[in-house]
Chain A
Amino acid sequence: MENLERAEAWGQASSGMAYVFRPSTPSGLQAVFELARDTGVPIGLRGAGRSYGDAAMNSERILVDLERMNRILAWDPASGIVEVEPGVTIEQLWRYVLGDGWWPPVVPGTMFPTVGGCLAMNVHGKNNWREGTFGKHVLEFEALLPTGEYVVCTPERDPELFHAMIGGLGVLGCFTRIKLQLKRVHSGQLDVLALSIPNMDAMLEDMESLRDDWEYLVGWVDCFAGGRGVGRGQIHAANHLDNLADPSPTQSLRLDHQDLPDTFFGLVPKSILWRFLKPFANNLGWKLVCLARYLMAKRGHGHRFKQSLAEFNFLLDYVPHWKRAYWPLGLIQYQCFVPKAEASEAFVQILRLCQARGLPSYLGVTKRHRPDDFLLSHAVDGYSLALDFRVTRRNRQRLLALAHDLDEIVLAHSGRFYFAKDSTLAPESAVGYLGAESIQSLFALKARLDPDNLLQTDLWRRVFEPLSIREKFHNRAESQTLHSPS
C-alpha cells in the first residue's frame, strides 16, 4: 500500500495506479521478483516510461522502475564497446562516450528512454534501413528471469532467446547488464539537407533515391493537406562528417557544442514554448501551423546546413514538454510499417480516412526500414508512417474505431505495428501481422522462462493475454478430442 503510485502512459491518454519499486542493484531487483513469487502479484518493468501507450504500465500490480539501476559498468574507448545497466538513458550514454568520438549507432527521436527500455521495445532510428534496430548492436546481455535464474545471451550462442528477449516487451525477463557496440564518429556535426515534398508519392520516391547517399532520413508529413497534396511535407537527410570535413572535430565533439539552444529565436525560453503551441492545438489552429511549416519548408527547399548530432537526432526534445500542448487528455500515436511497393497507396488511404473522419493527425512522420530477425519485429522492407492524435473527451470512441479501421488498411497491405507506440491494437490484428507461428513461439518461450506468468504489463494483458487464454483453451479442446475414446 505504501508503494502505491500513479503511473501514466507517456502520451497521458491513460494512467493507472501501481505498487512501484525502485531497486538500485540486481539484488534489489531479485528481492522484488521474490516478493512477486511469494504473493503471486505480477510484475511489470518500466524504464523511463517513454512508451506512448501502456507498454510500461502494470496497473494495480507491481511495477519495477529501473531508472535507479543506471550505472555505466565498463567503457573501452579503443573498441567502442560499452557495458551498461538497463536504467542508463540514451542521454547518459551519448554524453559519456561522445568525447571519445563514439555515438550510439541507433537512437530514437528522444534521448530520454533507457537502454533497457530501448531493448525491450527494440527501437529504431532515422537510419533503420542501414543500421537495423537497437538490438542489432547488442553484443551480449544478461537478464534475470522470473524464476530467479540469470541468463547470458549473445546472438551466436543462443539466437532464439536473444531474438525473442530483445523486443520481448519486458515479459520474458529483466535485462541487468547490456553490452553494446557503438559507432565511431569523427565530428559532432551532421551534414543536413532539407527538401520540400509535394505529395506522398514524391516523399517515398525521394527517400528511395536518397537512401544510397545519406545515412539518416526522416520525412515530416502535413496531415491536413488534401487533394493532390496528400502526404506533402519535408524530408531531412543527414550524413556524419568524415575525418576531414569537420575543421574542428575536437570542438564539435564537446558536450557544450551538443546542448540544444534553450531559447527560440534567442528570445522565447523553450521551456514555455508548449504554452504558445497550446492555443493552436485544435483542428483549425494546427492546420495553420502545418501550412506555415510547409510554406517555410518550400522556401528552404534544397537548403544544406550543419546540425549537431543531438539536435538532429533528438528532434522530439527540441520543444521541451511538447506533449503538454495536448493537455488535459493527452495524445496517442499510431505507427504502421508497410512494404515499399504498397506504402504510398496505404499511407494515402490512411491520411484520407483520418481527414474524412474529422480526426486529422497533428504530426506525421515517415521513415525507411528493413526487415530483421527478431521474434516480435515491427520492421519491413519499406516505410513507416507515425501519426499523433489528440485525445479529447468526445473523440475517444471515434479514435479507437478509426485506429481499428486503419489496422485493416495496414493488414491488407501486409503491414506491421510497433508496441512502443501502440495504445489501440486488438489481439486479432497482432496475430494478423506477427502470424500464429511467432505468437506460438512467444507463448512457448513465455511458458518456459516465466511458467507462473509473473511478468506482465497492461499491454501484455490487452493484446497477448486474450490470445494466450484462447490458445490454452484450444489446446485443451484438441487434446480432449485426441484422447476421447471413439
Chain B
Amino acid sequence: MTATEADHQNALLSRPKALLIGASSGIGAALARRLAAEGFDLALVARRMPELEALCGELSQAHGIRALAYAHDVQDTAAAPSLLESIARDLEGLDLFVYVAGVMFPHDPDAYDTENDLLTLKVNTLGAIAWCNPVTLRFVRAGQGQIVGLGSIAGDRGRRAIPAYSASKAALETYLEALRNRVTRSGVTVTTIKAGQVDTDMLKNAAAVRGPVSAERAADMIWRAIRLRKQVVYIPGRWALIGWVVRHIPSFIFRRLNL
C-alpha cells in the first residue's frame, strides 16, 4: 500500500516541513539531501538561486518530496519575518528550522580587515538572530518545533587565526543557549551543532586541516542530533573531548599554542 501524492496533501499524512538557511552548498546541501531522504518537505534558502533550484529539482525527483527554493541574503535581516511567513504558507507549516549559513575568511597574519570581520558577524550571527526570533515566536505559539544552529569548535576559544569567526560562533552559541533556556518550557527544542572540520569549500580557508569529515557524514550526525532532540552536539563526536580539553587550557599556555 503506497500513498499517492494526493494523499500527502492530506493533513493526516502530511510530511514534516523543514526550512534551511544556507542550503546551496556544503553542510547545508548535504543536510537538505539527508532530510529529503527522511521524507521532509523542504524550503531551501540561499543567495545562489541556480544551485538551489538544481538541488530542489534533484531532491523532489529523487525522494518525491516538495522542495522549494528562495533567494535571500541573510544580511537583509529586515526581510526575514515576511519571507518566513510566505515560506510557511508555501510549505503549509513548519516543524524544523536549520541555520547553516556561514562565512570564514582566509587567515592572513598581517591583516586586520574590518569589512570582512563585520561581514562574518552579519552572516554567521546577526542573520541567525534575525531568523531565529520570528521562528521561535512561531514555534512557541505552536507549542512544538526544533531550531538547529551551526556553531563551531572555534567558538569555544578565541582563535588567533580567525578572531571574528570565533567571536561570531561564540555569540551564536551563547544566543542559542539563551534561546533554549527561554523556550524550554514551551515544547521547543534548540540544538547547537559544534562542528569541527568538515570537508566543504570553507575548509579551503582554514589555516590547517586536521582530519576533516565529509559533509555527508556531518549531515548524518546532524540528522541524528535532530532526531534525538539533542541540545549540544560536537561533530565528529571525538571533538567533544578535544573541545573539553581546549576549553580548559589556561590562557598563559593557550596564547602560545598554534591553535
Query: Which of under 10, 10 to 19, 20 to 34, or 35 or more describes the interface residues of A?
Result: 20 to 34
CB-CB contacts below 8 Å: A379-404 with B: 391, 396-401
Interface centre among B10, B12, B89 (most CB of A within 10 A): B12
Interface flags, A40-72, vs B, CB<8A=1, else 0: 010000000000001000011100000000000
Q: Are A13 and B12 in contact (CB under 8 A)?
A: yes
On whether A17 and B141 interact (CB within 8 A), knowing A1-B81, A401-B1, the answer reads yes
CA–CA, A9 and B3, complex, Å? 22
Q: Are A424 and B10 in contact (CB under 8 A)?
A: yes
Whether, in the assembled complex, A426 has its beta carbon less than 8 Å from a beta carbon of chain B, the answer is yes
Minimum Cβ distance to chain A for residue B130 (Å):
13
Interface flags, B1-28, vs A, CB<8A=1, else 0: 1010011011111100000000000000
Return the contact of A1 from the options B3, B14, B137 (Cβ within 8 A).
Answer: B137
Whether, in the assembled complex, B39 has its beta carbon less than 8 Å from a beta carbon of chain A, the answer is no
Q: Are B12 and A400 in contact (CB under 8 A)?
A: yes
Q: Are B12 and A399 in contact (CB under 8 A)?
A: yes
Q: Which residue of B lies closest to A458 (CB)?
A: B11
Q: Are A396 and B13 in contact (CB under 8 A)?
A: yes
Return the contact of B1 from the options A59, A398, A462 (Cβ within 8 A).
Answer: A398
CA–CA, A313 and B89, complex, Å? 40
CA–CA, A273 and B3, complex, Å? 37
CA–CA, A310 and B253, complex, Å? 81
Whether, in the assembled complex, B62 has its beta carbon less than 8 Å from a beta carbon of chain A, the answer is no
CA–CA, A9 and B11, complex, Å? 10
Minimum Cβ distance to chain B for residue A358 (Å):
13
Q: Which residues of chain A come closer than 8 Å to B141, judged between CB atoms?
A: 4-6, 17
CA–CA, A17 and B142, complex, Å? 7
Q: Which residues of chain B come closer than 8 Å to A60, judged between CB atoms?
A: 85, 88-89, 92-93
CA–CA, A16 and B12, complex, Å? 12
Q: Are B12 and A462 in contact (CB under 8 A)?
A: no
CA–CA, A200 and B83, complex, Å? 55
CA–CA, A397 and B6, complex, Å? 12
Whether, in the assembled complex, A423 has its beta carbon less than 8 Å from a beta carbon of chain B, the answer is yes
Q: Are A423 and B7 in contact (CB under 8 A)?
A: no
Return the contact of B12 from the options A5, A41, A424, A426 (Cβ within 8 A).
Answer: A424
Return the contact of A426 from the options B6, B13, B137 (Cβ within 8 A).
Answer: B6
Query: Which of under 10, 10 to 19, 20 to 34, or 35 or more describes the interface residues of B?
Result: 20 to 34
Minimum Cβ distance to chain B for residue A53 (Å):
8
Q: Are A17 and B12 in contact (CB under 8 A)?
A: no
Whether, in the assembled complex, B217 has its beta carbon less than 8 Å from a beta carbon of chain A, the answer is no
Whether, in the assembled complex, A14 has its beta carbon less than 8 Å from a beta carbon of chain B, the answer is yes
Whether, in the assembled complex, B106 has its beta carbon less than 8 Å from a beta carbon of chain A, the answer is no
Whether, in the assembled complex, B237 has its beta carbon less than 8 Å from a beta carbon of chain A, the answer is no
Interface flags, B136-148, vs A, CB<8A=1, else 0: 0110011100000
Minimum Cβ distance to chain A for residue B90 (Å):
8
Whether, in the assembled complex, B64 has its beta carbon less than 8 Å from a beta carbon of chain A, the answer is no
CA–CA, A332 and B92, complex, Å? 20
Whether, in the assembled complex, B243 has its beta carbon less than 8 Å from a beta carbon of chain A, the answer is no
Q: Which residue of A lies closest to B2 (CB)?
A: A397
Q: Which residue of B lies closest to A404 (CB)?
A: B7
CA–CA, A462 and B88, complex, Å? 17
Return the contact of B142 from the options A6, A423, A458 (Cβ within 8 A).
Answer: A6
CA–CA, A427 and B81, complex, Å? 34
Q: Are B11 and A17 in contact (CB under 8 A)?
A: no
Q: Are A397 and B81 in contact (CB under 8 A)?
A: no
Return the contact of B7 from the options A4, A59, A400 (Cβ within 8 A).
Answer: A400
CA–CA, A396 and B143, complex, Å? 22
CB-CB contacts below 8 Å: A1-27 with B: 1, 4-6, 9, 13-14, 16-17
CA–CA, A6 and B88, complex, Å? 13
Q: Which residues of chain A come closer than 8 Å to B163, judged between CB atoms?
A: none
Dominant secondary structure of chain B at its interface with chain A: helix
Whether, in the assembled complex, B236 has its beta carbon less than 8 Å from a beta carbon of chain A, the answer is no
Q: Are B10 and A400 in contact (CB under 8 A)?
A: yes
CA–CA, A397 and B39, complex, Å? 14
CB-CB contacts below 8 Å: A445-478 with B: 458, 462
Q: Are A332 and B12 in contact (CB under 8 A)?
A: yes
CB-CB contacts below 8 Å: B145-164 with A: none
Q: Which residues of chain A come closer than 8 Å to B143, judged between CB atoms?
A: 6
Q: Are B13 and A397 in contact (CB under 8 A)?
A: yes
CA–CA, A396 and B8, complex, Å? 11
Q: Are B11 and A14 in contact (CB under 8 A)?
A: yes
CA–CA, A475 and B100, complex, Å? 46
Minimum Cβ distance to chain A for residue B207 (Å):
42
Q: Are B12 and A1 in contact (CB under 8 A)?
A: no
Q: Which residues of chain B come closer than 8 Å to A399, judged between CB atoms?
A: 12
Minimum Cβ distance to chain B for residue A35 (Å):
14
Q: Are A397 and B3 in contact (CB under 8 A)?
A: yes
CB-CB contacts below 8 Å: B67-113 with A: 81, 85, 88-89, 92-94
Q: Which residues of chain B come closer than 8 Å to A61, judged between CB atoms?
A: 89
Q: Which residue of B lies closest to A59 (CB)?
A: B92
Q: Which residue of A lies closest to B90 (CB)?
A: A60
Q: Which residues of chain A come closer than 8 Å to B9, judged between CB atoms?
A: 462
Minimum Cβ distance to chain B for residue A239 (Å):
40
CA–CA, A401 and B10, complex, Å? 12
Minimum Cβ distance to chain B for residue A355 (Å):
17
CA–CA, A16 and B142, complex, Å? 8
Q: Are A17 and B88 in contact (CB under 8 A)?
A: yes
CA–CA, A332 and B11, complex, Å? 12
CB-CB contacts below 8 Å: A402-428 with B: 423-424, 426-427
Q: Which residues of chain A come closer than 8 Å to B88, judged between CB atoms?
A: 17, 60
Q: Are B13 and A1 in contact (CB under 8 A)?
A: no
Minimum Cβ distance to chain B for residue A17 (Å):
6
Q: Which residues of chain B come closer than 8 Å to A462, judged between CB atoms?
A: 9-11
Q: Are B134 and A397 in contact (CB under 8 A)?
A: no
Q: Which residue of A lies closest to B3 (CB)?
A: A397
Minimum Cβ distance to chain B for residue A445 (Å):
25
CA–CA, A259 and B176, complex, Å? 52
Interface flags, A111-143, vs B, CB<8A=1, else 0: 000000000000000000000000000000000
CA–CA, A424 and B1, complex, Å? 17
14 contacts between A and B (CB under 8 A): A1-B137, A6-B142, A13-B12, A17-B93, A17-B94, A17-B141, A17-B142, A54-B11, A60-B85, A332-B12, A397-B13, A400-B7, A458-B11, A462-B11
**Could you tell me which B residues sit within 8 Å of A by CB distance?**
1, 3, 6-7, 9-14, 81, 85, 88-89, 92-94, 134, 137-138, 141-143
User: Apart from A1-B134, A13-B12, what 5 extra A-B contacts exist at CB < 8 Å?
Assistant: A17-B88, A59-B93, A400-B12, A401-B1, A462-B9
Closest 10 CB pairs of A and B: A14-B11, A60-B89, A60-B88, A4-B141, A6-B142, A396-B12, A397-B3, A401-B1, A396-B13, A400-B7
